[in-house]
Structure formats: structure tokens, C-alpha cells
Amino acid sequence: MSRVGGADALATVNEVGDVPAGKLRGFAAMKAAGRNVELLAIASKGGTTSHRLGRAHEWTSETARAAGSKGGKATWAKKRAVER
């Protein structure tokens, strides 16, 4: 953290920018490099745990094909609507 201004303005600013320190909490208050590492670690633990507990969604070739088809139809429908 660094101090900004003179003796009258003793507001502290964090590394994120012009946001006063204490306004950002959690991941937003971390430096970008540390935030990325922490988020990846947490996401990895969540995925591993959900698979271990049997709560994770597992795609079959049929469900993946259906989802891809549905997405393709929606994309083309939007494109046709814009063209009209």
C-alpha cells in the first residue's frame, strides 16, 4: 500500500488502483498474480471434491451432442434475427 496526497489527504490506496484500501475484500483485494493462483487452486479442489462425492456432471457422447446441437440452433436463430 502507498500513501496518496499530503498531510490533509492521508487516504491509502491499494495495488488495484484508485480504490481506497479497505473497500475491496476477498479476491478483489489481492494482487492479480496471487489472485489467479488462488482461484485455480480453489477451483481444482472444488472439482476434485465434487467428483469424489459423485455430484459432478459427467457428459456422455449423447448429452454432449444434444447440447452442441442446441447451442448451434440458438446461434443460427440469433444470426437470422439480426439479418431481418
Domain residue extents for the chain:
2-83
Rounded Cα distance, 35 and 30, in Å: 6
Q: Which residues contact 11 (CB under 8 A, 6 or more apart)?
A: 3, 4, 5, 20
- DSSP structural state of residue 28: G
Query: Between residues 19 and 77, which one has the greater pLDDT?
Result: 77
pLDDT band at 74 (very low <50, low <70, confident <90, very high): confident
Enter the pTM of the model.
0.38
- How confident is the model at residue 61, as a pLDDT? 94
- How confident is the model at residue 8, as a pLDDT? 40
Q: Which residues contact 5 (CB under 8 A, 6 or more apart)?
A: 11
Distance of CA 39 to the CA centre of its chain: 8
- How confident is the model at residue 66, as a pLDDT? 93
pLDDT band at 21 (very low <50, low <70, confident <90, very high): low
Q: Does pLDDT of 7 surpass 80? A: no
Of 83, 34, 51, 42, the C-alpha closest to 59 is 51
